[in-house]
Amino acid sequence: MTLRAQLQALFQYASEADLEAQINMLLAEVLEETPIAAPQPSIPCEQNEDNRIVVTGMGIVSPFGVGIECFWEGLASGCSAVGRITHFDPSNFPCQVAAQVPDFMPQAFMDLREARRMSRASQFAVAAARMAVDAAGLRIDAGNRDEIGSLIASSTISMPDVEQAVITMMQRGPLKISPFFIPSAVPNMPSSQVAIQLGLRGYISAISTACAASSQALGEAAEVIRRGDAEVMLAGGAEAPISALSLGSFSVIRALSTGFNADPCRASRPFDQLRDGFVSAEGAGVLVLERLSSARRRGAPILAEILSYAAHADAYHVTAPDPEGGGAIRAMRRALQRAKINPQQVDYINAHATSTPAGDLAETKAIKQVFGEYAYSVPISSNKSMIGHLTGAAGAVEAAATILAMRHSLIPPTINLEHPDPACDLDYVPNVARPATIQVAISNSFGFGGVNSVLVLRKM
């Protein structure tokens, strides 16, 4: 982008407070006070289109509402979807805020009687899957349903259903527990319900690796297609964790933000000195994956390519990240190596960045190790600053956000970055969306138990 174009874009999108800093940065580049990355060679493309996996449709249920449009509008405008919890009375909890899906009507996507037998997470998954299939122009019928699979991740068993079952047992006895409890609560049900409701009879699985789960679901689904176990995969994640059981469980390990109950919109603040924990969130993201050759044959919209995927373990602690980001470093390096690109060819990093003191610092260190001096030039941002942490669904929702950023040439900001942590000193696109040409991006997802998953995406 030329200097003139960048300045015009700044005046269109940036706030008055942000203009001076952005203009100074551009002038520094022009005056060679900061290094300007050398032009990079074009990224080689796999010639065999059967080996290239692309995204042809996306469906999102998020704290901004139902659908891609409201999701992108919220991210691009830098709004917060965090508010006081309304699913139950949180007054007795140290954290009283979350990012909840507003006005969700399951009957818009499935039979209401069927919906009542599902967990809320499964309802979200079915809704997101239907929207993704519609967006991809994918017709599911007797001729292809055996070759279409489902791989929907979830971080854990459905906490609200477990909580309700325990209450029923304690108050009325064990034989009064709903017969639909187990068939609705187990972690594979979002994936199974997508298959049941859409009539998919191909490959099916589920992944439950905490907050890395749906990123891994996308990466593994691409491999399922490459090895010939499916022609099309519906992949992503769904989560509906907001319950007293979940809130209490995360509270006792001091994982949640507690300092902004009176001002929920400011609670999720990655890389900020005042960050004090993550904000729980609910929703789902489902993407349609297929071979590039298949997408072209049927004239499908081609949104992005999954260039590569990698996952590595910290082998450090059950909840805390490796403070030096060891697993994240290995995952990013492996993903870039598999994509056959070097770090300087990455135009944007969608950070995991949950707003925890240890996690944000470890990710910053990892990025510096992988990207070297270029770490200070590549823009990074955290969607969780606006929509909270969707745990098992976070990776898929953030992959969708990354693809939308590519297609709209606009990087969503990291909001609430008011007091930057001196130890987190990279370019986190603070508070205001930034116009940018994004050809290649990576999306980081890290989970409890030291699971690190990285996706490399390319604009198509």
Cβ atoms of 431 and 78 within 8 Å: the answer is: yes
Query: What is the rounded distance in angstroms from the CA atom of residue 310 to the CA atom of residue 443?
Result: 11
**Which residue of the set 79, 211, 265, 424 is catalytic?**
211
Cβ atoms of 204 and 230 within 8 Å: the answer is: no
| Contacts (Cβ under 8 Å, ≥6 apart) of 162 | 185, 245
Assess whether 211 carries a catalytic annotation.
Answer: yes
Cβ atoms of 227 and 242 within 8 Å: the answer is: no
Query: What is the rounded distance in angstroms from the CA atom of residue 173 to the CA atom of residue 184?
Result: 20
Least Cα distance to 65 among 12, 108, 2 occurs for: 108
Query: What is the rounded distance in angstroms from the CA atom of residue 302 to the CA atom of residue 174?
Result: 51
Long-range contacts of 246-255 (CB under 8 A, 24+ apart): 246/159, 246/160, 246/280, 247/85, 247/90, 247/93, 247/95, 247/98, 247/280, 248/93, 249/159, 250/95, 250/280, 251/93, 251/94, 251/95, 253/319, 255/319, 255/356
Q: How far is CA 244 from CA 11, 268, 377, in A?
A: 45, 20, 42
Query: What is the rounded distance in angstroms from the CA atom of residue 28 to the CA atom of residue 25?
Result: 5
Cβ atoms of 238 and 284 within 8 Å: the answer is: yes
Cβ atoms of 26 and 7 within 8 Å: the answer is: yes
Q: Which residues are catalytic?
A: 211
